[in-house]
Amino acid sequence: MARNRTSSAGSLKVGDHVTSKLPAFNWRGVIVEDLGPLGIDGSEIFVIRVGDEDDGRRFNARAESLERVAA
Amino acid sequence: MASKSLMDWRSDAAAAFDEIENAHKAVGGSKPGRRFLTQQLNYAYTMLLAARFQGFARALHAQTADAIALGAHDANYAELLYGSLTNNTTLERNNAHPNSIADDFARFGLDIWADVDRERSRNDERRKKLWALVTWRNAIAHDDIDAKLKRGALEPLTISLATCRGWRSALNILATSLDKVAADRCQALGLSRPW
């Protein structure tokens, strides 16, 4: 899957299009909520939506595992 | 030690609740209209309690899932696990009534309310107060208090400042018990105690 990576996880925000940095995952989603530094080690946690606004899958991801991609 | 979720509940949420308490004092007195003003404050207090407790429960679930996922043997597995444990949670869509909390924490293999009830006596009564709070919250939010009162669906029949304080006190204790049960669960899964 072509990802058009544009930057690392720094300064991610709600509305950013993101993907996983890990090669085992090829989803592409949108950050819909910033839960703050809720990781056990203080890592920033985001809620990601993959798919439609109504029917899409939503799950949490750590900031350091995310990579911003072009919309 | 407490989770960040519980620390936020005890600081940020408590500060917000105190603002409502201060607003109550500010409209004190016996002038006409005070009763209506304080009723609206009590409704606001109810909404805030329910909203903040939902925030606490969501955050605690996210933190527990993170702690469990970090116990995975590699990064791919950790990400898969974290995504699965937080996938389309009930607490993201629904109020933090006891069933929503039970649904989401069941992903960790927990019968959360059984453990919470064991953790401290009278938590079953506090859980009933959470139900009452969420039922009132919905009646206020959907503007159908009168209809629900006619059906006998609201308990108590009116909300006073004392009612809100009672709910707040119950939530404080439930939050502490939930926090401890979640940490216990991580330990039972062979992980180090996260908080």
**pLDDT for the residue numbered A53:** 86
- Higher-confidence residue of B29 and B43: namely B43
In a domain, B193, yes or no: no
- Residues B184 and B115: their CA atoms lie apart, in Å, by 10
- Tell me the residue range of the domain where B155 lies: 4-188
Q: Do A24 and B62 touch (CB under 8 A)?
A: no
- Tell me the residue range of the domain where A47 lies: 5-55
Give the number of other Cβ atoms within 10 Å of residue B93's Cβ: 9
Chain B residues interacting with chain A (CB cutoff of 8 angstroms): 4-5, 58-59, 62-63, 65-67, 70, 75-76, 79-80, 82-84, 86-89, 92, 194
How far out from the chain centre does Cα A53 lie?
15
CA distance A63 to chain B (A): 11
**pLDDT for the residue numbered B170:** 98
Q: Which of A16, A23, A18 is nearest to A1 (CA)?
A: A23
Quick check: B72 pLDDT over 60? Answer: yes
Condensed to tens digits (0 to 9), the pLDDT of residues B138-157 reads: 999 999 999 999 999 999 99
The pTM of the full predicted model, rounded to 2 decimals, is 0.92
Contacts of B62 in chain A (CB under 8 A): 35, 38, 45, 60
Burial of A54 (0-12, 13-18, 19+ CB in 10 A): exposed
In a domain, B43, yes or no: yes
β-sheet bridge partners, residue A61: A46
β-sheet bridge partners, residue A29: A18
ipTM attached to this prediction: 0.84
The sign of the dihedral angle between the CA atoms of B148, B154, B158, B161 is negative
Count: domains in chain A: 1
In a domain, A36, yes or no: yes
In a domain, A16, yes or no: yes
Helical segments of B70-122, H only: 75-85, 90-93, 98-105, 112-119
In a domain, A10, yes or no: yes
Contacts of A35 in chain B (CB under 8 A): 58-59, 62
What is the arrangement of strands in the sheet containing A5-7, beginning at the earlier edge strand? A5-7, A66-69, A17-20, A28-36, A45-50, A57-62
> Roughly what angle, to the nearest 10 degrees, separates helices B34-69 and B75-85?
150
- Residues B177 and B171: their CA atoms lie apart, in Å, by 10
Could you tell me what percent of chain B has a pLDDT over 70? 96
Quick check: B94 pLDDT over 80? Answer: yes
Condensed to tens digits (0 to 9), the pLDDT of residues B2-26 reads: 999 999 999 999 999 999 999 988 8
**pLDDT for the residue numbered B106:** 98
CA distance A9 to chain B (A): 15
In a domain, A66, yes or no: no
**pLDDT for the residue numbered B35:** 66
In a domain, A60, yes or no: no
Task: Quote the tokens at residue B176.
Answer: 């502490």
Count: domains in chain B: 1
Whether A28 and A3 have beta carbons less than 8 Å apart is answered as yes
Q: Could you list the pLDDT tens digit for every one of the 71 residues in chain A?
A: 334 444 444 689 999 999 999 989 999 999 999 999 999 999 999 999 999 988 899 999 999 999 999 98
